[in-house]
Amino acid sequence: MNARTPTLFVFLAASIAMAGCEDLPTLGDDPPDPPDPQAVFRFETFGDETWWTDTLRMHEVIQAAVDPLTALSVGLKVDSEALPDGILETVDLEDPATTVALIGLDAVLGLKGEVDADGTLTRVGVTCALCHSTVDDGVMPGIGRRLDGWANVDLNPGLIVSLSPHFQDPAAQAVLTSWGPGMFDPRFNIDGVSDPVVIPPAYGLEGVALETYTGDGPVSYWNAYVAITQMHGHGDFSDPRIGVSVDWDEDLVTPLLDPLRAYQLSLTAPRPPAGSFDASAAERGRGVFESLGCASCHSGPLLTDAAERLHEPAETCMDPTLSERAATGLYRTTPLRALWQHAPYFHDGSAATVADVVSHYEGCLSLTLSTGQRSDLIEYLKSL
């Protein structure tokens, strides 16, 4: 252990000791407070430690080989506001022990761990914030203030999971390491097909009828599906349309779906940074958007017709693979919000830029745009 590292462990050990001194509830105590929606999103594992610790043994992987610089390189983020003042100047960012201590402080977004006073990581699980939060990079890239609801476009979940002793056979390694940053396949462990999708943002969902790419159900449907089948939390989920049924003796997921949904719906889409688009061109681009008929699907204030209908893949020249693996066989119209923040675009990430999105539809729908119209339309999309 690096000589500078124990500073963080001293702070952590003190926190653990203080937590252990809390009074236990007794008969006659008031009932517990209702779940805090933000805490559910940020810190609730739904008991998934049985997968990430007991099966994948990720606590061993982290303890042995994942120093903070490695963690940042695979897209993990650190909440600077959870750190003691000045601590980053006194610890070794190339020592896995520092990562363990950061987990013990609840500073690594989406990771929840149990750390002994001697610095041993004994259990670890994941939360919704792993994929659907990032930071503002205010301290350094990957370390800053939390931005809940933002898609973690740097996260490489396949590569992270590939480090587990559980997935060391060549076939699993080839699949998991092929997905890349910002991509994840939430059906792979169900049907064995590898076709990853872009990790979406979890903001701007208020009023959206169907939150998934394929319109399988509302946000709580997807929260339950992911919490139980992907995070491997303890809960009950059944959807005969996709042949999935999971039943735990204790359901830790369903009672928390309402507060989780409430917090997600409270997260508004971030506005584009000042100077990131030409306002005059964007206003002209709005007219182009409407004249081309884009608003017939991207309709209403949320720019989606998901409440009224879903679409065949061929309507917009989309790869049908994901829809074929889903419950509906169709795609919903994605609400257009904060496009500046979460490239790449389309469910499969096939459009790297907003300009690529426009090019796709020019070809698919046989649109004829002048150079000026194309430029204005791009500015409009950047302004959303």
Given 155, 172, 190, which residue is the final one in a domain?
Answer: 155
Residue 331: CATH number of its domain: 1.10.760.10
- Find, among 146, 145, 116, the residue nearest to 128 by Cα: 146
Q: Is residue 133 part of a domain?
A: yes
Residue 162 has pLDDT above 80, yes or no: yes
CA–CA distance, 32 with 87 (Å, rounded to integer): 34
Q: Is residue 81 part of a domain?
A: yes
Q: Which residues pair with 146 in a beta bridge?
A: 135
Q: What total of structural domains would you count in the chain? A: 2
Q: Is residue 360 part of a domain?
A: yes
pLDDT at 293: 95
pLDDT confidence tier of residue 1, bands split at 50, 70 and 90: very low
Residue 10 has pLDDT above 80, yes or no: no
Q: Is residue 165 part of a domain?
A: no
Pick the range with the lowest mean pLDDT from 43-47, 209-213, 313-317.
209-213
Q: Is residue 143 part of a domain?
A: yes
pLDDT tens by residue, 317-347? 999 999 999 999 999 999 999 999 999 999 9
pLDDT tens by residue, 163-214? 999 999 999 999 999 999 999 999 999 999 999 999 999 999 999 989 899 9
Residue 292 has pLDDT above 50, yes or no: yes
CA–CA distance, 324 with 331 (Å, rounded to integer): 10
Report the pLDDT averaged over residues 25-47.
83
Burial 137-163 (b: 16+ CB within 10 A, else e): eeeeebbbebbbbbbbbbbbbbbbbbb
DSSP output for 162-179: HTSGGG-SHHHHHHHTTS
Q: Is residue 226 part of a domain?
A: no
Given 155, 189, 207, which residue is the final one in a domain?
Answer: 155
pLDDT confidence tier of residue 34, bands split at 50, 70 and 90: confident
Report the pLDDT averaged over residues 119-146.
98
Given 124, 155, 186, which residue is the final one in a domain?
Answer: 155
Can you give the residue range of the structural domain that contains 81? 6-155
Q: Is residue 228 part of a domain?
A: no
Q: Is residue 233 part of a domain?
A: no
The amino acid present at 183, given as its one-letter code, is M
Q: pLDDT averaged over the chain?
A: 93
Provide the strand spans (E) within the chain.
78-79, 111-115, 121-126, 133-135, 143-144, 146-148, 183-184, 197-198, 237-239, 244-246
